[in-house]
Structure 1
């Protein structure tokens, strides 16, 4: 097939990738997601098999394969040990990582970036418009739930969780579009820049209106880390190894501080106790720590973490089982003071992985999170002009921090987006031979 024909198919695949990215980030249309995924896969099959253009397939990073392999293997070890529904539910969780594959094989340099940015931003605009409608209703006196913006979701934190992925993409896409427009003088990049700026302007207020402390804190810290890295590269102060050490020290300090707070509530000393007093000043403590408003259920989070800690103490190696947390919580580990008695998870990813899959799965989760973080920073150091790497780093930090007070990557849509994003990032780093 001649180059013009291949380029035409490239364009079609990129358009399909953009449509799929839209529904991936929208996260509220199962039909749209499934149909767009099927169309993208069909387009890729036609391209790779009919036209025998395999040279565009790059080498998948062995580091990424190792990180993902360890993570999923540790979960499966725990699942097969416990048996029953744990096996099915663990495989279902792994299946949520599927978007990584079509977005990897659908990658076409520059075209895929433009399609991915456009699709993601369109989804963010659609969600934000719904948010603006809710803001209007609130100003008209029609209170929505507790006055927090939910967009198309039931829970405002779910809306915040999607925006913390999409907004970094839009922000870094502005930088990418600007430099592409200046270097290549193509009008499409100028329009892309304008579109991304409008996306940011439209989405900020609804995002803040969701009042999701985890999403807001994660977004801000992720942005600071990316900004710090750009500053380091610009001033050429030190290399990525020093940055990793510095950030690791900060994370360790934050972890020790958090552990100290939990220790003050006698987590280990109150094992299975039914008379634990919730610290009435806990909400004020959290407010001072984060600078964000406290809520009445903050004390509940401590009880959930205590229950998870007690589960892990009793089942240290392989946990209580991926599917068994809710049952064990309600029947054996719940405190009398707990008001939310039917929760399916402890609203903390570390607590969830260690309590359900033990040391084996918990270490797997830490390897996955820290390994991805180090890998992306290392590649970012090699490719400072990339816009996918810093936006993924920003989103990874955001969802990881948010996941310590919410569902995080235990959430289906967060897993979809994170791994879909990872697929296109890894593809951009592979030794891809594109047709110019």
Structure 2
């Protein structure tokens, strides 16, 4: 007789399908209505009912107490910060979203799924990833719904891919979150060649998608993530990678990526971004001397050509714009160091601050700080930032503990390493973007994290 699955299980599957595939958001008056606004409350009610009626069981030996205490502490600080808020409504929206993430994470981590249910979850998510990745490439090839912000700095590309994520920066963050896991499963887990190549192809699709986002910081983080992923399980990874079929697949992917539009120029631009955060030497390693102090060597052996000079100019403007936004967040925090300006009120106070400090004005009356940590600091102050960071510090502590316990199980080990690196990329990209405050991306972060923790803790040796 076929196993009868709980409604909770089907709702978790629905999250895995709808959240990556459906970016639709509509408004009922001032209230935003999107997938997570409907799905998470329904899952919460159903899971509570099925637990009460003993339709589902929880992992009683998997303690979430510390997570919930830390989530609760930050929620309390958010409530207190509202005493400083000029506008309550955006703050309340932010708090409700945050609370929904915590509830979702708790449910998907604690519910005891069967081996067949985990297998279905894995297959479903793999198919969804393939659909999103293929759609991303098709949107570039056929110029469907491309983002044109920053295209002025590109010569060959005619837009930036955002697939189903609404913004190329959001999509870039999601890609880097899943890429380490795809690489490890594709190279180091499967024994059969067809499955290795299939998952490596999926990894390759996401590498190409990342290129098509033309997000410089994401490119750098992706490169670092791939290197770190291979180094964390070096013996098995390189043994499986250095086989004829995987070497050929890797070479093909490298050739494809190298020949994609604007790859070389955008890579140079990414290097210029890195260089911009370090003081320039007046004498270059190659021996060229910068006599006029413009950062460009004067002799012919090391001088930037006109194309690179233009590229560097565009890059410097982008860096100045981004660092100015960060300064705005810092000034807001500096003026309100204890409780901030109130949760959700950065945008509300933005115009006031660019008026008060004219050097911060970049032509907009409202603009994102493009840094999740500065957003938290400016809105909830020092105590808010510390309690917020404590959640993610414990997240890593929890993950490392699970790794120590389950490192003998290959799949669980690889999943945890992939999540470790993926979560690291997520933390890194939040320095340059507000991904933690993008519902679609953040729901996927906590959903995938919870399911990985759940499977790793389960007694199933493989899914």
Global fold match (TM > 0.5) = yes
Contact 2:326 2:369 in 1 (8 A): yes
Q: Deviations over 1:368-390 (max 9, x none)?
A: 23332233233223322314322
Contact 1:321 1:357 in 2 (8 A): yes
Task: Show the 5 A alignment for 1:27-426.
Answer: 27-29=22-24, 48=51, 54=57, 57-80=60-83, 82=85, 84-85=88-89, 87-97=91-101, 98-108=103-113, 110-137=115-142, 145=148, 146=151, 147-174=159-186, 178=190, 195-231=198-234, 261=277, 294=315, 296-333=317-354, 335-336=358-359, 338-384=361-407, 385=410, 386=412, 387-426=414-453
Contact 2:372 2:434 in 1 (8 A): yes
Q: Distance in 2 between matches of 1:68 and 1:381?
A: 25
CA-based RMSD of the aligned residues comes to 4.2
Distance of aligned partners of 1:36 and 1:106 in 2 relative to their CA distance in 1, 3 Å threshold: farther
TM-score where L is the length of structure 1: 0.70
**Greater radius of gyration (CA):** 2
Contact 1:23 1:29 in 2 (8 A): no
* Bigger relative contact order, structure 1 or 2 (CA pairs below 8 A, ≥6 apart): 1
Q: Which of residues 10, 13, 16 in structure 2 aligns to 1:18?
A: 13
Stretches of structure 2 lacking an aligned partner (at least 5 in a row)? 26-33, 152-158, 238-273, 281-292, 296-303
Stretches of structure 1 lacking an aligned partner (at least 5 in a row)? 182-189, 235-257, 265-278
Number of aligned pairs? 375
Q: Deviations over 1:283-310 (max 9, x none)?
A: x9xx9xxx9x936322111111222221
Deviation at 1:170, TM superposition (A): 2.7
Deviation at 1:100, TM superposition (A): 1.3
Deviation at 1:326, TM superposition (A): 1.9
Contact 1:86 1:321 in 2 (8 A): no
Contact 2:78 2:342 in 1 (8 A): no
Q: Deviations over 1:162-214 (max 9, x none)?
A: 222333343344368627x8xxxxxxxx9876653442233321221111223
Contact 1:217 1:401 in 2 (8 A): no
Contact 1:312 1:319 in 2 (8 A): yes
